[in-house]
A and B are shown apart, each in its own frame.
Chain A
Amino acid sequence: MTRLRARKVQPIGPPVDEPVRTMSVWVPDWPLVAAGVDSATPAAVFVANRVVACTAAARAAGVRRHMRRREAQSRAPSLEVLDHDPDRDARAFEAVVHAVEALTPRIEVTRPGRCAFPTRGPSRYFGGDDALASRALDVVAEVLAAPVAVGVADGPFAAAHAARTALVRANRSGGGEPPVWVVAPGRAAEYLAPLSLGALDRPELADVLARLGLHSLGDLAALPAADVLGRFGSEGLEAHRLACGLDPRPPATEPPPPDLVVSAELDPPAEQVAPIAFVARGMADELHARLDARGSVCTRIVISAETEHGERSERVWRHEGALSAGAIADRVRWQMDGWLHANVRQRPSAGIVHLWLHPDEVVAADGRQLGFWGADTGAADRAVRAIARVQGLLGADAVLVPEYAGGRDPGEQLRLVPAAAVDLGADRPAARPDWVGAPWPGRLPNPSPATLHPDAVPVDVLDARGRQVVVDGRCRPTAEPAALRAGRRRRRIESWAGPWPVDERWWDPERRSRRVRYQVVTDDGAAHLVVLEGGRWTIAATYD
């Protein structure tokens, strides 16, 4: 693939284990900036009912990441609630990346809102890291009104934190200082040492280390690398290397082999995102099959596209973990979306004819232990493909997967969400019982009914003298239930328990519900959950 880019000249002998000097450009609270929300408006973006990003105004009111929606709204009652839209974020960020591209090619997009590039060349050209940084601020300020921070340090990790430091200092000085922070070459470890372990963004590991008495990156860096590897495995070693101011992995001794490059011709030329995304999905799958066969994963990928008129879009995408096939396809879509919908000057003048996926950094797949003989790690992938076929036959909403939700009745404690809305290949904490942390007093005792009746079956619950059983304002029944009558059929109630009252959402006139529940076993041995609400009895569930 010499057409794509010149291969780096490899030095003779083992490469130096030294991080590349990097500049990180960071737009804080990017999802909100992309949504066009002013930082003075309290607003937050939610995923699965948790805050993932919020504006400065919301933060000042006490809203934090990972907070539940209700708690966030209680702290900032006028909070504007926004949906998470990664496509919008990536599309909007393309303009920023394009602006930074005026300084240097090969911008690496870590995630929408943050990009990085090696400073060696541009820094010399513009006259030093400081000059380059203020230049970067200028070019971004031309396209973006939101605050931006720039950090320069050895390695992307330290640079990202330098950008954070820059923002904090600029805010503290009240706008007196530019939001730029440059860590001198070779001083990354020193700069990182006082930072807390939370900076690693590995909460589980940080929790264990904190319990061992290690509280800062400096504490971790002071440990011998071999001991960290022995005790915490590859994840611990990566964290240790980061804390020492190194790249998370030692540099690869050889470049990724060219046979991993996947390319495709688009005929006819594509002017819309959809056909490109479709081709990209197939290419990503093929790339993944090749990586899998080598036992490798890709952590950084170059996505390039070329139009009929020779215009090119080339982006480097990095991921902290490994890029899955779906993640690669998403990134192609983001990049193309941003390019094809850019303003008139930057937009390509013709359709896209060529697309390349070029894995730039390939490492051994050590994160996941494959099953031994016969264990089928592809089961989830196969299931996802089968689901896609069924969705094609019946529609996207016909395939549902369960997720835990809070509630008191068996039907409320789990809800069904369309399979199209979740990533089945990934870990889904919402499908585990510990997802609902809060207790729900008034839940029915186990075991739960195996059949629910969504359209509750109307019945009559009669007492020994054939009168309907009802309850008074204090939920006291008028008599003991003795028979269950559905239409013409009538069953004697052998045993029963209740009434178990529930008075929910009394503040909400639309959704309020006040009801009592009984468990009954009829003379044919069947057990039912019967509910009295608004004077009407129904069978809500059957224990079959």
Chain B
Amino acid sequence: MTGGAEDVASVAARTTPTVLARAQRLPVLPALESLVPGGGLRRGSTLSVDGSAATSLALAAAAGPSRDGAWVAAVGFPSLGLLAAAELGIALERLVLVAEPEPLLPGERADAAAWPSVVAALVDAFEVVLVHASHPVRAADGRRLVARTRERGAVLVQVGGSAPTGARWPEGADVALTVVDAAWEGLGEGHGHLRARRVTVEAGGRREAARPRRAELWLPSVDGTVEEVLPEPVPLRASRGSEIA
């Protein structure tokens, strides 16, 4: 089914003098561009997202590629808020959830064989693969997965875990995003509803991402999008009276 497309792609590859940097990166939402080096997620890299709003931030990070046509897989998220994923910009027709591989025998460590094979199979085909940090991974498996990710040009995103950077993948994630502060707005004492959340995100990582970065974001803003906090934010007051849409 891909013969024609591959032919065109191979001709394009031969006629392009150099590989453009942006072709090697998956686009992210504009608000997140200042947090990742080069303004996009480099294909073949690993990302870790951590802190109090980790799930939302990971979904926002996957939203850019997803809107651009990428397929997103999430392994071991039985409780993912799909509606939140859709609101943050993930195209649900290209989102696939894979159940956490269960241990074969009770008491056995979470299945040692299945989990890495499952993630490896997904990395082969999906541009973005979200994995939950609660799953134990052996160092050798982790190394193999990172190598596979690099080779296939996917982005492996580890969500949550509050482990220090580097505890999970042998050399640490290429880019590590941490939510250091989060505050909801819109809710009063008995009135209003949650409307927007202001988060402070710190980014670090290895090599090109080593320089620490920091950004204040609305995750989400009052209209549901992800936006950078403008230098002088207009104070948002709780609305009077509860509104139920």
Using a CB–CB distance below 8 Å, which chain A residues touch chain B? Answer: 285, 288-290, 292-293, 295, 325, 370-371, 373-383, 385-387, 389-390, 393-394, 397-404, 410, 413-414, 416, 419, 424, 427-428, 431-433, 441-454, 480, 495-498, 500, 519-521, 525-527, 541, 543-544
Contact at B3–A444, with CB atoms within 8 Å? no
Contact at A450–B5, with CB atoms within 8 Å? no
Total contacts A-B at CB 8 Å: 218
Contact at A379–B69, with CB atoms within 8 Å? yes
Given the interface contacts A292-B2, A452-B79, does A376 sit within 8 Å of B69 by beta carbon? yes
Kindly identify which residue among B53, B82, B243 contacts A445, using a CB–CB cutoff of 8 Å.
Answer: B243
Contact at B9–A443, with CB atoms within 8 Å? no
Contact at B55–A544, with CB atoms within 8 Å? yes
Given the interface contacts A497-B193, A527-B194, does A432 sit within 8 Å of B93 by beta carbon? yes
Nearest chain B CB to A438's CB is how many angstroms away?
14
* In the bound complex, CA of A496 to CA of B86 (Å): 25
Given contacts A398-B101, A432-B92, 18 further A-B contacts (CB under 8 A): A295-B4, A373-B8, A373-B12, A382-B125, A386-B124, A386-B125, A389-B121, A393-B117, A393-B121, A400-B97, A404-B92, A433-B86, A447-B194, A450-B55, A452-B80, A480-B190, A497-B191, A521-B184
Nearest residue, chain B, Cβ from A428: B93
15 A/B residue pairs, CB under 8 Å, sorted by A: A292-B3, A295-B4, A380-B71, A386-B126, A387-B96, A389-B121, A424-B96, A442-B244, A444-B245, A445-B243, A451-B81, A452-B80, A497-B187, A519-B194, A543-B197
Contact at B71–A379, with CB atoms within 8 Å? yes
Contact at A496–B5, with CB atoms within 8 Å? no
Nearest chain A CB to B122's CB is how many angstroms away?
6
- Residue B133 at the chain A interface, CB threshold 8 Å: no
Chain B residues with Cβ under 8 A from A293's Cβ?
Answer: 3-4, 7
Nearest chain B CB to A48's CB is how many angstroms away?
14
Chain B residues with Cβ under 8 A from A381's Cβ?
Answer: 1-2
Interface readout for B36-75 with A: 1 if CB under 8 Å, 0 if not?
0000000000000000111110010000000001110100
Contact at A373–B244, with CB atoms within 8 Å? no
- Residue B188 at the chain A interface, CB threshold 8 Å: yes
Nearest chain B CB to A440's CB is how many angstroms away?
9
Contact at B98–A398, with CB atoms within 8 Å? yes
Residues of B87-139 contacting chain A, CB below 8 A: 87, 91-99, 101, 114, 117-118, 121-122, 124-127
Kindly identify which residue among A370, A446, A453 contacts B4, using a CB–CB cutoff of 8 Å.
Answer: A370
Nearest chain A CB to B187's CB is how many angstroms away?
4
Nearest residue, chain B, Cβ from A288: B1
- Residue B21 at the chain A interface, CB threshold 8 Å: no
Chain B residues with Cβ under 8 A from A389's Cβ?
Answer: 121
Using a CB–CB distance below 8 Å, which chain B residues touch chain A? Answer: 1-9, 12, 16, 23, 52-56, 59, 69-71, 73, 78-87, 91-99, 101, 114, 117-118, 121-122, 124-127, 181-184, 187-197, 220, 224, 238, 242-245
Contact at A525–B194, with CB atoms within 8 Å? no
Given the interface contacts A292-B4, A374-B9, A377-B2, does A448 sit within 8 Å of B99 by beta carbon? no
Nearest residue, chain B, Cβ from A526: B52
Chain A residues with Cβ under 8 A from B184's Cβ?
Answer: 521, 525, 527, 543
Chain A residues with Cβ under 8 A from B79's Cβ?
Answer: 451-454
Nearest chain A CB to B124's CB is how many angstroms away?
6
Nearest chain A CB to B244's CB is how many angstroms away?
6
Nearest residue, chain B, Cβ from A432: B93
* In the bound complex, CA of A443 to CA of B243 (Å): 10
* In the bound complex, CA of A325 to CA of B183 (Å): 51
Kindly identify which residue among B4, B59, B190, B245 contacts A496, using a CB–CB cutoff of 8 Å.
Answer: B190
Chain B residues with Cβ under 8 A from A495's Cβ?
Answer: 187-189, 192, 238
Nearest chain A CB to B151's CB is how many angstroms away?
15
* In the bound complex, CA of A374 to CA of B92 (Å): 23
Chain B residues with Cβ under 8 A from A450's Cβ?
Answer: 53, 55-56, 59, 80-81, 84-85
Given the interface contacts A377-B5, A544-B56, does A400 sit within 8 Å of B121 by beta carbon? no
* In the bound complex, CA of A295 to CA of B53 (Å): 47
Contact at B5–A414, with CB atoms within 8 Å? no
Nearest residue, chain B, Cβ from A387: B96
Nearest residue, chain A, Cβ from B125: A386
Chain A residues with Cβ under 8 A from B189's Cβ?
Answer: 480, 495-496
Chain B residues with Cβ under 8 A from A445's Cβ?
Answer: 193-195, 243-245
Nearest chain B CB to A296's CB is how many angstroms away?
9
Nearest residue, chain A, Cβ from B7: A293
Nearest chain B CB to A381's CB is how many angstroms away?
5
Identify the 9 closest CB pairs spanning chains A and B, nearest first: A386-B125, A378-B2, A431-B93, A448-B83, A382-B125, A450-B55, A292-B3, A293-B3, A414-B82
Chain B residues with Cβ under 8 A from A441's Cβ?
Answer: 244
* In the bound complex, CA of A541 to CA of B94 (Å): 24
Kindly identify which residue among B1, B93, B190 contacts A378, using a CB–CB cutoff of 8 Å.
Answer: B1
Contact at A378–B5, with CB atoms within 8 Å? yes
* In the bound complex, CA of A445 to CA of B56 (Å): 17
Nearest chain A CB to B183's CB is how many angstroms away?
6
Contact at A454–B190, with CB atoms within 8 Å? no
Contact at B6–A378, with CB atoms within 8 Å? yes
* In the bound complex, CA of A402 to CA of B79 (Å): 13
* In the bound complex, CA of A525 to CA of B182 (Å): 7
Chain A residues with Cβ under 8 A from B97's Cβ?
Answer: 399-402, 416
Nearest residue, chain A, Cβ from B238: A495
* In the bound complex, CA of A380 to CA of B5 (Å): 13
Given the interface contacts A374-B23, A386-B126, A447-B84, does A431 sit within 8 Å of B245 by beta carbon? no
* In the bound complex, CA of A424 to CA of B97 (Å): 13
Contact at A375–B3, with CB atoms within 8 Å? no
Kindly identify which residue among B53, B87, B117 contacts A544, using a CB–CB cutoff of 8 Å.
Answer: B53
* In the bound complex, CA of A325 to CA of B122 (Å): 22
Nearest residue, chain A, Cβ from B4: A292
Nearest chain A CB to B217's CB is how many angstroms away?
13
Contact at B86–A290, with CB atoms within 8 Å? no
* In the bound complex, CA of A446 to CA of B87 (Å): 8
* In the bound complex, CA of A72 to CA of B92 (Å): 29
Chain B residues with Cβ under 8 A from A443's Cβ?
Answer: 244-245
Nearest chain A CB to B235's CB is how many angstroms away?
15
* In the bound complex, CA of A387 to CA of B84 (Å): 24
Chain A residues with Cβ under 8 A from B56's Cβ?
Answer: 450, 543-544
Contact at A390–B93, with CB atoms within 8 Å? no
* In the bound complex, CA of A500 to CA of B96 (Å): 32
Given the interface contacts A383-B125, A393-B101, does A497 sit within 8 Å of B190 by beta carbon? yes
Nearest chain B CB to A385's CB is how many angstroms away?
6
